[in-house]
Structure 1
């Protein structure tokens, strides 16, 4: 018999908790679907800016793509949250996956032209952002329904592993495919992954709205915002994430950091290091299923992120910088696990979609604004000082927010009133489980 304290038992306790994959058929389908589409999506995310660069030779033209994507993401993210509470979430996911596949087809046709055009690339970028904004609230809010209450953090860890797989393999393969087979081949692979995704999503069980007669509206969006504002724990998760990303998201100035460190070869590793750190944490996340104080994850993860980014800006050795970025990625994932678990454990089913729309804003607008901050500070004070000062500001802001919203730090899934209410609702209503 294996002792509970034996090395094998301790190793097994660190491995990811696979319970959601065993207990929920819909979660298995969505996990596999996401594994396929993340790979294809990340491939297109690399091929698209590369094609704009080849057509224009302009860094500004590539940067404009981010501006083109931001407004549709904000607008359709909020509307998508209201839609997720009013429509069958399965139908929303199906329709948006099919739409994303059609946009990949547009990219494929354009790339196959003797002289590919530039404007369809921006149009598709905006369309992808809009469809992602519509889909993400439905997808995120569905997790709260199909995964048992006590398995939410395990589900979040498995979903993060899936995302990290796409973030690491998609860009790596995309670079090779574009270099040796062309943009059209990359877009064809992306289109094929969405075709597979649609087939998998067809097998999902219907997910009708929790409340009949509800229609997407500004009033409904405002209702969700008022609920979030009235819950200090939720407010803390949004505020901490926004602060961490605004002050300490230096990705846009990595090329300048590589130059300063006289290590141009390290640029790709800088972009990948965070995903590697997240992947390592995800592969050893079994212990997280035994934690009830998920607010600690949010705060500690954001603090680790800030400290590691500060260290990355301070050190002059490129290998130490890469280690710091990997540690930052692990901290970011830890904070993300806490946020998603609190969201899915506490938000009522009838508001879950609208709050998911707000969540889309909290983790998408922050990095966009953070890149602007990092670029402006780098131009004013220098690259490395912009990075380390942002990390310090992140830690300071997390400390201030924690002091202002102490209920986030004391959140306990076994005693929090909203968590207990949500657990009771899932146990008493089959449609909510």
Structure 2
């Protein structure tokens, strides 16, 4: 019995990063706030559709949010490298909270202005980019190097829990109470993130400081371009999302697998798999060959997606998508951890800014790829072919020696070599 318990602990999610007070506050604050963020992510499109009756205007949310996400992801990372990261995180968090209050006031007053809603979405997207890039750069300052992978696993797992719970909670509140109540809940829950940011210690920049302008952003991109480990880690993520993200094909596939009820399960399957993987992720932090592990996880992602496209019934498709979601969580942990530990502290904000841009932009490009390919060759060919192509192309990353040999840092070797060769 004792041996069974010890074996379970080795595979259960590693909670040891929560022993560090500042990380514990950040994790808890973000976990609580992200539930509200997901509620608002449902409420805004519902409100826009109620006002316009048009899916076109709902789709415009993605367009108006993408540009500020890219711009402020890159610029916000540069700011996080030049200023006290606590202050940058707090400013970005306050801005996000104020946008939620703006949505609440707009709803309470019954203004029904799509222009105002889209403007608030753009502002929220900009603030989200700054907050995300800064928080990612803070993690290596509040936990030891050997715990960064576990800290990232905790963060990604709770985010996926919120991605499941938030929309369900939003549907309940919107249908049983009101849109205003949904925004109010988000505003209240986001206070947890504000508290966590406010309680951080001062986190001034370390090393060489660059003014947060265009030159600083270009320096960050040049740093990535001359470091094969970082360049390949971004490249494999883009391959995974552009070639194999099947999200845009879910509605069409659902018609074959059960209609409206099926589409909800298809959308939920990836998050379900990610949560299960997070709950059993104790082994993730013990893997040293993180470059090879990252490629293996993306190969599993591509093959699982391809298998789901071939599945003849809903539950097999959901199971295979859940396997893909589990692999995606593992790959996300390794990509984030490599980025946080390989780059020096004075570059981490800019690296996280690029990470935010790639993570948010990749799936959008994947939607475009999947939709246009499906129009040309059919849904199944687009879905299955994309997954197989992803699994094949990502193996090319192993041809890069520094990436193939990359190992996670340890407590005695906290900063891996940044040798660009």
Provide TM-score, normalisation by structure 1. Answer: 0.92
| Alignment correspondent of 2:271 | 275
- Once residues 147 and 296 of structure 1 are traced to their aligned partners in structure 2, the CA distance between those partners, rounded to angstroms, is 24
Which of 386, 394, 415 is equivalent to 1:398?
Answer: 394
> Is the CA contact (8 Å cut-off) linking 1:314 and 1:385 kept in structure 2?
no
Q: Does 1:203 align with 2:199?
A: yes
> Is the CA contact (8 Å cut-off) linking 1:33 and 1:196 kept in structure 2?
yes
Task: Tell me how far 1:308 sits from its aligned partner.
Answer: 0.9
Q: Deviations over 1:134-164 (max 9, x none)?
A: 2211110101111101111111111112211
CA 1:185–1:243 in 2, change beyond 3 Å: closer, same or farther?
A: same
> Is the CA contact (8 Å cut-off) linking 1:16 and 1:283 kept in structure 2?
yes
- Once residues 350 and 312 of structure 1 are traced to their aligned partners in structure 2, the CA distance between those partners, rounded to angstroms, is 42
Which of 21, 26, 32 is equivalent to 2:28?
Answer: 32
| Alignment correspondent of 1:368 | 364
- Once residues 70 and 21 of structure 2 are traced to their aligned partners in structure 1, the CA distance between those partners, rounded to angstroms, is 32
- Once residues 318 and 98 of structure 2 are traced to their aligned partners in structure 1, the CA distance between those partners, rounded to angstroms, is 38
- Tell me the C-alpha RMSD between the 2 structures: 1.8
| Alignment correspondent of 1:9 | 6
Aligned residues: 417
- Once residues 421 and 173 of structure 1 are traced to their aligned partners in structure 2, the CA distance between those partners, rounded to angstroms, is 41
Q: Does 1:407 align with 2:402?
A: yes
Question: What SS does the aligned partner of 1:286 have?
Answer: coil
> Is the CA contact (8 Å cut-off) linking 1:98 and 1:194 kept in structure 2?
no
| Bigger mean CA deviation after superposition, 106-115 or 308-317 | 106-115
Q: Deviations over 1:41-97 (max 9, x none)?
A: 011001111111221221221111111111111111110110010111111111111
| Alignment correspondent of 1:422 | 415
**Ranges in structure 1 where 5+ consecutive residues have no aligned partner:** 426-433
Question: What SS does the aligned partner of 2:283 have?
Answer: helix
Q: Does 1:107 align with 2:103?
A: yes
Task: Tell me how far 1:401 sits from its aligned partner.
Answer: 3.1
Task: Tell me how far 1:212 sits from its aligned partner.
Answer: 6.7
CA 1:75–1:288 in 2, change beyond 3 Å: closer, same or farther?
A: same
Q: Deviations over 1:253-277 (max 9, x none)?
A: 2111111323321111111111110
| Alignment correspondent of 2:228 | 232
- Once residues 51 and 330 of structure 1 are traced to their aligned partners in structure 2, the CA distance between those partners, rounded to angstroms, is 32
| Alignment correspondent of 2:173 | 177
Q: Does 1:144 align with 2:140?
A: yes
Which of 373, 387, 411 is equivalent to 1:377?
Answer: 373
| Structure 1 segment 28-67 matched on structure 2, within 5 A | 28-67=24-63
CA 1:213–1:353 in 2, change beyond 3 Å: closer, same or farther?
A: closer
| Alignment correspondent of 1:429 | none
> Is the CA contact (8 Å cut-off) linking 1:89 and 1:207 kept in structure 2?
yes
4+ runs of 1 displaced by more than 4 Å?
none
| Bigger mean CA deviation after superposition, 195-204 or 82-91 | 195-204
- Once residues 424 and 118 of structure 1 are traced to their aligned partners in structure 2, the CA distance between those partners, rounded to angstroms, is 50
> Is the CA contact (8 Å cut-off) linking 2:208 and 2:346 kept in structure 1?
no
> Is the CA contact (8 Å cut-off) linking 1:296 and 1:338 kept in structure 2?
no
- Once residues 338 and 351 of structure 2 are traced to their aligned partners in structure 1, the CA distance between those partners, rounded to angstroms, is 12
**Ranges in structure 2 where 5+ consecutive residues have no aligned partner:** none
- Once residues 396 and 406 of structure 1 are traced to their aligned partners in structure 2, the CA distance between those partners, rounded to angstroms, is 18
- Once residues 314 and 212 of structure 1 are traced to their aligned partners in structure 2, the CA distance between those partners, rounded to angstroms, is 52
Question: What SS does the aligned partner of 1:16 have?
Answer: coil
- Once residues 8 and 277 of structure 2 are traced to their aligned partners in structure 1, the CA distance between those partners, rounded to angstroms, is 13
> Is the CA contact (8 Å cut-off) linking 1:275 and 1:326 kept in structure 2?
yes
CA 1:421–1:222 in 2, change beyond 3 Å: closer, same or farther?
A: farther
- Once residues 75 and 121 of structure 2 are traced to their aligned partners in structure 1, the CA distance between those partners, rounded to angstroms, is 19
| Structure 1 segment 2-401 matched on structure 2, within 5 A | 6-22=3-19, 24-211=20-207, 214-401=210-397
| Bigger mean CA deviation after superposition, 189-198 or 79-88 | 189-198
> Is the CA contact (8 Å cut-off) linking 1:299 and 1:398 kept in structure 2?
yes
Provide TM-score, normalisation by structure 2. Answer: 0.95
Task: Tell me how far 1:99 sits from its aligned partner.
Answer: 0.9
| Bigger mean CA deviation after superposition, 391-400 or 261-270 | 261-270
- Once residues 8 and 353 of structure 2 are traced to their aligned partners in structure 1, the CA distance between those partners, rounded to angstroms, is 38
- Once residues 105 and 31 of structure 1 are traced to their aligned partners in structure 2, the CA distance between those partners, rounded to angstroms, is 23
Question: What SS does the aligned partner of 2:22 have?
Answer: helix
Task: Tell me how far 1:196 sits from its aligned partner.
Answer: 2.9
CA 1:260–1:195 in 2, change beyond 3 Å: closer, same or farther?
A: same
> Is the CA contact (8 Å cut-off) linking 1:309 and 1:388 kept in structure 2?
yes
- Once residues 94 and 140 of structure 1 are traced to their aligned partners in structure 2, the CA distance between those partners, rounded to angstroms, is 14
> Is the CA contact (8 Å cut-off) linking 1:76 and 1:134 kept in structure 2?
yes
